[in-house]
């Protein structure tokens, strides 16, 4: 009898391994995760918003980016070819350009996982062969160092070797999970073994080296893939080293800001404020969440909880964007670039909001969703995806923003002084970290739509899709989701196949969706339906069961916290998860964006237009345009303002700057009284 039970248990465990061995996070054996990744490819967008975005990613974003990075514009592949001895030349591009190429490879593999196009795999396999030839015998791989005579390995952290390493390890793990082939993985293992040899002793020489912490996520994924605990141990060493050493000049830190800028003044477990470069910080926090998922260390989880709350409640824009300033200082007066400044300091026109930082915000929240199983983390993921992430790329998928301000005013800034801030999207950015980061996120978005719970499935993101996966016990679950979300709030999920025993359906009710109703086969569920929470329905599901979710999709005015001075007496417009903006193509020719006011009592009417900006819902309203605004002096005496009414429409923030050069604003001054 015991033998039979052992065999049965082994069978269940083997099914679970099958269910989870191909997740974007390899959490099949992670002991401290409430909601685990589904397999890559188990969910496919079928119709609607995200199906359209994935189609653009498949046919435009990924192919176009590949042309850029494998040609003479991006030069990333050329760097590998030169290092491999296959081409003459010198290194071009940023020192971290290798990582950009790895991210693009990862994006291409997500597309391959969806469409099975062997041409994609063959192309990527060819690049892997080149990378293998570029790798040195002991595992070292960083083309900038390899092709530059006057620098040595791990001489200075500003060369971003750890950043490139992290994206190499992550991309290789994803390639292995999708294809089952080890050649890219073997490159990663060889490289990680070298990292372990050099950095595991945790000497003072290298103690402050890993400041751009993508290697932590990469090492954890490599541990999850190979089960070699050295990689997890090394990931934790990189966490433990931050804040361990005095913030002072050191040979490996010369030439790059120190202290709060790179999150090294305060040890992570003691941190309560997100500081410094926003991308560095959020990669760091995401990696720490991966480590916590394996170790279960409560002090680490507590710190991440504090940091997540600080980011989302005191330093995040209404669009889900983060990293308030291009230049600034921390509370310790450390120099800050592209990062977090003080709480509630939220400029609109000079908001930096690097696309990478916004994407990293969703990556961090996805990991926190896994740790805690609470819907608030998916709320932030969704907010970012529909707004501050998508704003980083044009509708046709070939032009990019690096920074994502909430207001654009022509002539207000000299953009020659701000090389990563531009008044319109560009076809190539010299610092190319953001475009592939965003494209890989769009390409893998269906894998974020659902998570596996201990006894069921969680619906994290809504959109037309088909899910064919296995639950924790190895049983098959097939769901079909039909919706025109986010333009409409009605969602129908049909059960096409499931086990006979009862299991949980966890349905995320967004924070904004007050008054949501949930029915099964036309009858209201007994489970509590509360906005900002998962509604969990446990029952014996049957083929043909239909879950109907109706979220009131009302257009709302949103105001900031009273301490956000830059948004005082201003409001933004939000409908469902989508934040709107006013753009000058929808104003009279003589009107400027700074002339625009909104009436607090004006009707806000949603209207879908399939022919505008790839198909969007606009918000039609009547705005006020001030006609006696004075700009002659810095300060002017005030006459009674004069306005004219103008009937127009607002467009989703992500869609702005797709109709030529334009001014734009998310927040508008509000006039509450009748005129």
Q: Secondary structure of 568-636 in the HEC alphabet? A: CCEEEEEECCEEEEEEHHHCCCCCCHHHEEEECCCCCEEEEECCCCCCEEEEEEEEEEECCCCCCCCCC
Closest C-alpha among 416, 286, 417, 421 to residue 362: 286
Q: Enumerate residues 6+ apart whose C-beta is below 8 A from 299.
A: 269
How is residue 647 written in tokens?
């009937």
How is residue 250 written in tokens?
């050191």
pLDDT at 417: 67
Contact predicate 360/377, CB 8 Å: no
> Which residues does residue 536 pair with via DSSP β-bridges, in sequence order?
506
- Residues present in the chain in total: 675
pLDDT at 18: 42
Contact predicate 48/485, CB 8 Å: yes
* Distance, CA of 284 to CA of 292 (rounded, Å): 12
Distance between first and last Cα of the chain? 84
pLDDT at 167: 98
Residue ranges of the chain with pLDDT lower than 70?
1-20, 417, 674-675
* Distance, CA of 596 to CA of 584 (rounded, Å): 10
Neighbours of 214 (CB within 10 A): 29
* Distance, CA of 389 to CA of 251 (rounded, Å): 36
Strand order in the sheet with 456-459: 36-37, 450-453, 456-459, 503-509, 533-539
Which position has the token pair 């625009």? 596
> Which residues does residue 259 pair with via DSSP β-bridges, in sequence order?
none
* Distance, CA of 384 to CA of 382 (rounded, Å): 5
Which position has the token pair 């980061």? 437
Q: Which CATH number fits domain 17-404+423-448: 1.10.260.40, 1.50.10.10, 3.40.228.10, 3.30.1330.40?
A: 1.50.10.10
Reported as a single tens digit per residue, the pLDDT across 193-203 is 999 999 999 88
Question: Pairing between strand 570-575 and 578-583?
Answer: antiparallel
Classify 434 as helix, strand or coil. Answer: helix
> Which residues does residue 647 pair with via DSSP β-bridges, in sequence order?
622
Long-range contacts formed by 345-349: CB under 8 A, 24+ apart: 345/566, 346/315, 346/317, 346/560, 346/564, 346/566, 346/567, 347/566, 348/405, 348/406, 348/407, 348/566, 348/567, 348/665, 348/666, 348/667, 349/405, 349/406, 349/407, 349/408, 349/409, 349/412, 349/413
- The DSSP line for 73-98 is TT-HHHHHHHHTTSS-----S-TTHH
> Which residues does residue 493 pair with via DSSP β-bridges, in sequence order?
481, 547
Neighbours of 334 (CB within 10 A): 19
Strand order in the sheet with 335-340: 276-277, 335-340, 325-329
pLDDT at 20: 67
Half-sphere exposure of residue 643: CA atoms within 13 angstroms, side-chain side: 19
Expressed in percent and rounded to 5, the helix, strand and coil fractions of the chain are: 40, 20, 40
Closest C-alpha among 354, 360, 351, 356 to residue 324: 351
Q: Which CATH number fits domain 449-550: 2.60.40, 1.20.140, 3.40.50, 3.90.830?
A: 2.60.40
Contact predicate 361/320, CB 8 Å: yes
Question: Can you give the C-alpha Rg of the chain in angstroms?
Answer: 25
Contact predicate 507/459, CB 8 Å: yes
pLDDT at 12: 36
Q: What is the DSSP letter of 483?
A: E
Query: Which residue ranges make up each domain of the chain?
Result: 17-404+423-448, 449-550, 555-671
pLDDT at 3: 40
């Amino acid at each position: 009898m015991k033998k039979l039970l052992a065999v049965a248990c082994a069978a269940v465990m083997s099914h679970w391994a099958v269910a989870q061995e191909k997740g974007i996070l390899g959490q099949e054996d992670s002991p401290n995760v409430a909601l685990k990744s589904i397999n890559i490819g188990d969910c496919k967008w079928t119709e609607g918003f995200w199906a359209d975005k994935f189609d653009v990613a498949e046919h435009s974003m990924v192919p176009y980016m590949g042309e850029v990075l494998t040609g003479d514009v991006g030069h990333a592949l050329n760097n590998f070819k030169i290092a491999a001895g296959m081409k003459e030349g010198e290194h071009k591009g940023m020192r971290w350009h290798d990582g950009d190429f790895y991210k693009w490879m990862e994006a291409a593999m997500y597309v391959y996982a969806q469409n099975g196009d062997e041409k994609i795999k063959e192309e990527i396999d060819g690049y892997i062969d080149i990378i293998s030839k570029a790798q040195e015998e002991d595992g070292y791989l960083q083309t900038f160092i390899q092709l530059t005579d006057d620098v040595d390995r791990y001489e200075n952290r500003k060369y971003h070797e750890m950043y490139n390493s992290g994206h190499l390890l992550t991309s290789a793990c994803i390639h292995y999970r999708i294809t089952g082939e080890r050649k890219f993985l073997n490159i990663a293992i060889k490289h990680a073994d070298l990292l372990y040899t050099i950095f595991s002793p945790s000497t003072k020489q290298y103690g402050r080296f890993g400041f751009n912490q993508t290697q932590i996520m990469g090492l954890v994924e490599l541990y999850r893939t190979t089960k070699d605990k050295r990689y997890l141990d090394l990931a934790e060493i990189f966490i433990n080293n931050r804040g361990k050493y005095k913030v002072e000049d050191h040979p490996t830190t010369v030439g790059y800001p120190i202290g709060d800028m790179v999150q090294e003044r305060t040890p992570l477990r003691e941190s309560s404020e997100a500081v410094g470069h926003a991308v560095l910080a959020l990669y760091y926090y995401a990696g720490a969440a991966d480590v916590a998922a394996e170790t279960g260390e409560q002090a680490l989880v507590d710190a991440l909880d504090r940091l997540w709350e600080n980011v989302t409640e005191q330093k995040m824009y209404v669009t889900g964007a983060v990293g308030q300033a291009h230049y600034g200082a921390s509370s310790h007066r450390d120099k800050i670039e592209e990062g977090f400044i003080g709480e509630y300091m939220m400029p609109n026109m000079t908001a930096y909001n690097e696309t990478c930082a916004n994407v990293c915000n969703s990556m961090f929240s996805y990991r926190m969703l896994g740790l805690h199983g609470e819907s608030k983390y998916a709320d932030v993921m969704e907010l970012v995806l529909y707004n501050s992430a998508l704003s980083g790329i044009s509708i046709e998928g070939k032009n990019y923003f690096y920074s994502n301000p909430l207001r654009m005013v022509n002539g207000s800034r000299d953009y020659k002084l701000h090389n990563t801030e531009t008044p319109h999207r560009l076809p190539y950015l010299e610092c190319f970290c953001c475009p592939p980061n965003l494209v890989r996120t769009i390409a893998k978005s269906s894998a974020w739509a659902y998570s596996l719970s201990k006894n069921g499935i969680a619906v994290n993101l809504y959109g037309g899709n088909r899910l064919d996966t296995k639950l924790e016990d190895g049983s098959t679950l097939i769901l079909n989701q039909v919706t025109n979300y986010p333009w409409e709030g009605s969602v129908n999920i049909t059960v096409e196949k499931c086990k006979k025993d009862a299991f949980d359906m966890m349905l995320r009710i967004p924070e904004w969706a007050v008054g949501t109703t949930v029915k099964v086969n036309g009858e209201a569920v007994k489970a509590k339906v509360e906005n900002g929470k998962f509604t969990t329905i446990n029952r014996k599901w049957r083929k043909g069961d239909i879950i109907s979710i109706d979220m009131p999709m009302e257009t709302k005015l949103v105001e900031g916290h009273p301490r956000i001075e830059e948004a005082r007496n201003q409001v933004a417009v939000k409908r469902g998860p989508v934040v709107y903006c006013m753009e000058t193509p929808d104003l009279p020719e003589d009107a400027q964006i700074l002339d625009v006011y909104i009436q607090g009592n004006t009707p806000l009417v949603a209207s879908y237009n399939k022919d505008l900006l790839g198909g969007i819902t606009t918000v039609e309203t009547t705005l006020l345009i001030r006609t006696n605004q004075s700009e002659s002096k810095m300060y002017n005496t005030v006459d009674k303002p004069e306005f004219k009414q103008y009937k127009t429409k607002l467009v989703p923030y992500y869609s702005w700057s797709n109709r030529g050069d334009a001014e734009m604003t998310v927040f508008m001054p509000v006039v509450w009284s009748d005129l």
